[in-house]
Chains A and B, each alone.
Chain A
Amino acid sequence: MTNSIREIPASAGYLIIGTNTTENHPVIGSMLKNEVINKGKKLIVADPRRIELARWADYYFPIAPGTNIALLNGLMHVIVKEGLYDRAFVEERCEGFGDLAKTLEKYTPEHVAGICGLANPQDIVGAARLMAGLKPMALYYAMGITQFVSGVNGVKSTANLQMLLGNLGVAGGGVNPLRGQSNVQGACDMGGLPNVFPAYQPVTVEENRAKFAAAWGSGALPDKPGLTLMEMFNQAIAGNIKALYVMGENPVLSDPDQHHVIEALEALDLFVVQDIFMTETARYADVVLPAYGFLEKAGTVTNTERRVQPMHRVLEPWGQSKDDWWIIMQIARRLGADWDYKDAEAIFEEIRRVTPSYAGMTYARLEEELLQWPCPTPEHPGTQFLHKGKFSRGQGLLTAIEFTPPAEGTDPDFPLILTTGRILEHFHTGTMSRNSRVLDELAPEAFVEMNRHDAQDHDIGDGEVVAVSSRRGSIRIKARVVDTIKPGVVFIPFHFAEAAANVLTIGAYDPVAKIPELKVCACAVEKVLPLTDTAGGLS
């Protein structure tokens, strides 16, 4: 997030696009509801499912999955055409307006309504005018913007809109991606990515490699960016990746096209899994290393608003399990490293030395203060919102972006669009939430959510078991018939191994970020006919 959670009351309104906030980030969802319901703030929502927040929206756009960019362009079309954008902000702080404006010309409300499947193009005009008057408006998004082959462009479009409206660098504004994992921000900050060292310092820059080689006392560091998660599996099948070491991940359930992932894992010469349970993924391992659970660990995590927080040991370690960093250190030592960290704080002290945005943070400060990166010096108070006065890159770049359709369109064999996501009671692959009694009892089974009209077309009743198929595979799952999902679209939460949505999803990905298109693929839903009594069995 460019901005902070505690700034939610400072916004005049919100654009919620590609995030089912009240289910996936419920605490933020409640804060948003408080502003809208109790304080009369404005709300615009775009989502193929009529999510809870849509109930209080001034404008709700039930867009077809994968058409975010068209909608955002349509809103910007109106904002530019009617001169509603923040001229001073665009002229002083941004570049690229001319090209963007030209691209936006054809995204008329009617054209956009056609792409997105919206009944009323005038709503786009109304919403654009409303948004222009909200000083400031905060934009929130999640994987409903990014998990597309056009994910990077989707993100850029959100930035375009907020720059046009002058909503960056101000409290209560911002482009605010809601991160879906407790420490996904930190994992990225720490260089858990194939192309960057900690603090996003590219591995391709010689100066960076020299700096880290010196700090680590290592030989020359590799200069070629590594493989992304999806590429690793492709290369394992191709025979180029021989060993894979997985810490705390369950790709068999979380990654698209499950059959493909399993094929890759089976092709490996060495597969090491470090986890707390025998996950669906660990079953394919050669070695399984038991790690501490989160309440057994001390260390730091970084939340969606760049806030670094200390975790404390609540419980004594389970069995012979060990701290993740300890296990890595022990393997490293066997490969010749002289590492001898005595605790997590010793590692954090090293992190501070090589990570400029964390340099000013200490364990002592984190216990006492609310610190958000960048926090470059021990005196620095941390950064509540980014891009104040000036963008990190200098001028804010407005990028002309065209709408491009998802990789897989529907056809007569696969006439529906499948989109995937999470539900309130469960989390990701369910390793934690489905092993928690209350959560498991509240939401014990998978379902496919489908519109009443689609259900009628296929003669499917609520609660009936159906077969959902795509070009990758097929699962059996109970139907949940609702009015809240756009006709032609079905939704399956991906938490449930026994009816895994990712058997169906497509491995297509964004060319830049390599993020898979988990939010759109073509599928078919069929009634599963009860077994007929052809064998003349018992009567």
Chain B
Amino acid sequence: MPKDAIGPIVQGQGISLTIDGQAVMGNKGQTILEAALAHDIDIPYLCYNPRISKTGACRICLVRVNETMFKTACTEPIAPDMRVVTEDPELTEIRKGILEMLLAEGDHNCLYCDANGACELQNLVMRYDAAMPSGDFPRRHRTIDEASSKGLKRNEDRCVLCGRCVKACAEVQLNNVWQFTGRGGNTHLTSDLDAKIGDSTCVNCGTCAQLCPTGAITLQPVLGRGANWDLKKESSICIYCGVGCKIDFFKNKGGQLVRALGHPDGPNQGHLCVKGRFGFDFIQKPARLSKPLIRENGAFKEATWDEALDFVAARLKEIKAQHGPDAVAALTSAKCTNEDNYLMQKFMRAMVGTNNVDHCARL
């Protein structure tokens, strides 16, 4: 999680406590989990996410407080001189028990799950050496809807009812598509009033999928596929509107784009819209221009770079000599970088000798 989400210690409001024997300072109002994460102390969790309000549903983050009490670290505020233990044999046993119940309840087969290798449940199952409990458990098959939506796939057999998707939609995207319905063992997700996601009011921002700790809600593939552990990640800035969302782009071994996730440090604070989430495969479309073209007798002919550049330069020189620099004009681009734009206006002013340079700021 980004540390700046916690913020610096506010003067005069610091609270000192110990976590696993380590003296720690936190701010009033912080939870044990937030104080721990700010100090790189690892407490496992499933339902917590810094971008949504606290839930306290999964109980994985249970810690021992002042020797005698168990508290959910994600909801319990820190207090002066609090003594927190994040792992001991009893806590390990509790966590393992919770994980095994989750495994028994769902149908978590990693082999054909999109989240395989990027699954928070899988990581915890490995960490705590949890396994499917033996015995005959009643299992309810829940909704699998992988086709109705252009943007999302839903497989509730992989759902751990953490509620992150419900809160992502209610607090980040503010569309309120996801809800829990039913009670007890019947509790399950629903989009709108039991509509399929594709028929719901979902706007395909994909934030629920980004926040889902398992493979219950995943993004429809856009272009490339690949195992999560083979994907390479690099961040850049979205090409669409002026918000300037920072996006982590993932590509597979073959260099194809696979998915886009919102980056927490950008102005978007991790959020994306449907364009930032899904609107990037154009860049690997075969129709992309790949060679310079020069029109000859009305039709385009492929040319080398030298031919094309020589042609443009020669014609610009001729036109400038014949009609003066103000007979030349250029449109620079709000889709290009500052460096591209700077160079275009420098070119027009210093090399052509005209101020005839503009772009689509007015459109």
Asked whether A332 lies within 8 Å of B329 as measured between CB atoms, the reply is no
Asked whether B251 lies within 8 Å of A315 as measured between CB atoms, the reply is yes
- Of the candidates A290, A301, A344, A427, the one having the most CB atoms from chain B within 10 angstroms of its own CB is A301
Does any Cβ of A come within 8 Å of B300's Cβ?
yes
Does any Cβ of B come within 8 Å of A409's Cβ?
no
In the complex, chain B residues 286-335 whose Cβ is within 8 Å of any chain A Cβ: 287-295, 300, 305, 308-317, 319, 322-323, 325-335
Asked whether B312 lies within 8 Å of A287 as measured between CB atoms, the reply is yes
Contacts of B204 in A (CB 8 A): 438, 442
Asked whether A294 lies within 8 Å of B335 as measured between CB atoms, the reply is yes
Asked whether B315 lies within 8 Å of A192 as measured between CB atoms, the reply is no
> Which residue of B275, B325, B362 contacts A228 across the interface (Cβ within 8 Å)?
B362
Contacts of B289 in A (CB 8 A): 275-278, 282, 288, 290-291, 319, 321
Which of B64-72, B158-166, B167-175 makes up part of the contact surface? B167-175
**What 1/0 flags go to B268-279 for Cβ under 8 Å of A?**
110111111011
> Which residue of A247, A290, A301 contacts B332 across the interface (Cβ within 8 Å)?
A247
Which of B26-34, B134-142, B241-249 makes up part of the contact surface? B241-249
**Cα distance A311–B248 in the bound complex, in angstroms:** 11
Q: How many residues of B contact A (CB 8 A)?
A: 112
Does any Cβ of B come within 8 Å of A186's Cβ?
yes
Contacts of B223 in A (CB 8 A): 437
Asked whether A516 lies within 8 Å of B362 as measured between CB atoms, the reply is yes
**What 1/0 flags go to A314-340 for Cβ under 8 Å of B?**
111011111111011111101111000
> Which residue of A229, A324, A348, A431 contacts B359 across the interface (Cβ within 8 Å)?
A229
Asked whether B305 lies within 8 Å of A295 as measured between CB atoms, the reply is no
Q: Which residue of B lies closest to A193 (CB)?
A: B358
Asked whether B240 lies within 8 Å of A313 as measured between CB atoms, the reply is no
**Cα distance A344–B349 in the bound complex, in angstroms:** 20
Known: A304-B244, A351-B339. A251 touches B331 (CB 8 A): yes
Least distance between A356 CB and chain B CB atoms (Å): 14
Least distance between A2 CB and chain B CB atoms (Å): 15
Does any Cβ of B come within 8 Å of A122's Cβ?
no
Asked whether A432 lies within 8 Å of B172 as measured between CB atoms, the reply is no
**Cα distance A76–B310 in the bound complex, in angstroms:** 59
Contacts of A241 in B (CB 8 A): 327-329, 356
In the complex, chain A residues 183-230 whose Cβ is within 8 Å of any chain B Cβ: 183-195, 197-198, 203, 212-213, 216, 218-219, 221-222, 224-230
Asked whether B244 lies within 8 Å of A243 as measured between CB atoms, the reply is no
Asked whether B278 lies within 8 Å of A25 as measured between CB atoms, the reply is no
**Cα distance A44–B357 in the bound complex, in angstroms:** 38
Least distance between B153 CB and chain A CB atoms (Å): 12
Asked whether B337 lies within 8 Å of A297 as measured between CB atoms, the reply is yes
Asked whether A216 lies within 8 Å of B235 as measured between CB atoms, the reply is no
Contacts of A315 in B (CB 8 A): 251, 255, 257, 283-284
Contacts of A251 in B (CB 8 A): 331, 360
Does any Cβ of A come within 8 Å of B350's Cβ?
yes
Interface on chain B toward A: helix, strand, loop, or mixed SS?
mixed
> Which residue of B222, B243, B316, B319 contacts A303 across the interface (Cβ within 8 Å)?
B243
Q: Which residue of B lies closest to A355 (CB)?
A: B342
Asked whether A5 lies within 8 Å of B243 as measured between CB atoms, the reply is yes
In the complex, chain A residues 403-435 whose Cβ is within 8 Å of any chain B Cβ: 424-428, 431-433, 435
Asked whether A186 lies within 8 Å of B338 as measured between CB atoms, the reply is yes
Does any Cβ of A come within 8 Å of B346's Cβ?
yes
Least distance between A135 CB and chain B CB atoms (Å): 24
Contacts of A197 in B (CB 8 A): 345, 349
Least distance between A244 CB and chain B CB atoms (Å): 5
**What 1/0 flags go to A240-262 for Cβ under 8 Å of B?**
11111111110100110000000
Does any Cβ of B come within 8 Å of A395's Cβ?
no
Asked whether B308 lies within 8 Å of A287 as measured between CB atoms, the reply is yes
Asked whether A192 lies within 8 Å of B341 as measured between CB atoms, the reply is yes
**Cα distance A459–B239 in the bound complex, in angstroms:** 41
> Which residue of B305, B313, B355, B359 contacts A222 across the interface (Cβ within 8 Å)?
B355
Q: Total A-B pairs in contact (CB under 8 Å)?
A: 458
Asked whether A432 lies within 8 Å of B279 as measured between CB atoms, the reply is yes
Contacts of B309 in A (CB 8 A): 327, 330-331, 334
User: Size range of the interface on A?
Assistant: 35 or more
Asked whether A182 lies within 8 Å of B335 as measured between CB atoms, the reply is yes
Asked whether A255 lies within 8 Å of B363 as measured between CB atoms, the reply is yes
Does any Cβ of B come within 8 Å of A289's Cβ?
yes
- Of the candidates A244, A308, A332, A518, the one having the most CB atoms from chain B within 10 angstroms of its own CB is A332
Asked whether A245 lies within 8 Å of B171 as measured between CB atoms, the reply is no
Asked whether B355 lies within 8 Å of A286 as measured between CB atoms, the reply is no
Least distance between B213 CB and chain A CB atoms (Å): 21
Does any Cβ of B come within 8 Å of A296's Cβ?
yes
Least distance between A441 CB and chain B CB atoms (Å): 5
Contacts of B255 in A (CB 8 A): 315-316
**What 1/0 flags go to A421-464 for Cβ under 8 Å of B?**
00011111001110111110110000000000000000000000
Contacts of A390 in B (CB 8 A): none
In the complex, chain A residues 510-525 whose Cβ is within 8 Å of any chain B Cβ: 513-516, 518
Contacts of A296 in B (CB 8 A): 283
Contacts of B171 in A (CB 8 A): 34, 38
Contacts of A30 in B (CB 8 A): 172-174, 205, 271
Least distance between B311 CB and chain A CB atoms (Å): 6
**Cα distance A5–B244 in the bound complex, in angstroms:** 11
Asked whether A189 lies within 8 Å of B234 as measured between CB atoms, the reply is no
Asked whether B268 lies within 8 Å of A312 as measured between CB atoms, the reply is no
Known: A226-B354, A276-B289, A314-B251. A437 touches B344 (CB 8 A): no
> Which residue of B238, B316, B339, B354 contacts A325 across the interface (Cβ within 8 Å)?
B339
Does any Cβ of A come within 8 Å of B282's Cβ?
yes
Contacts of A381 in B (CB 8 A): none
> Which residue of B234, B290, B323, B361 contacts A187 across the interface (Cβ within 8 Å)?
B361
Binding site for A on B (CB under 8 A): 150-151, 170-174, 203-205, 220, 222-223, 234-246, 249, 251, 255, 257, 265-269, 271-276, 278-285, 287-295, 300, 305, 308-317, 319, 322-323, 325-363
Closest 10 CB pairs of A and B: A319-B290, A303-B244, A299-B337, A248-B333, A226-B355, A179-B242, A334-B313, A26-B273, A181-B334, A435-B282
Binding site for B on A (CB under 8 A): 5-6, 24-28, 30, 33-34, 37-38, 146-147, 178-195, 197-198, 203, 212-213, 216, 218-219, 221-222, 224-230, 232, 235-236, 240-249, 251, 254-255, 269-270, 272, 275-278, 282, 285-291, 293-297, 299-305, 307-316, 318-325, 327-332, 334-337, 341, 344, 347-348, 350-351, 370, 424-428, 431-433, 435-439, 441-442, 509, 513-516, 518
Extra inter-chain contacts (12) besides given A34-B174, A222-B326, A278-B289, CB under 8 Å = A181-B241, A182-B334, A186-B341, A232-B358, A277-B289, A297-B336, A320-B290, A347-B342, A347-B343, A432-B282, A437-B278, A441-B150
Give 7 A-B contacts (CB < 8 Å), ordered by A residue. A27-B267, A293-B288, A334-B310, A347-B342, A433-B279, A438-B151, A438-B204
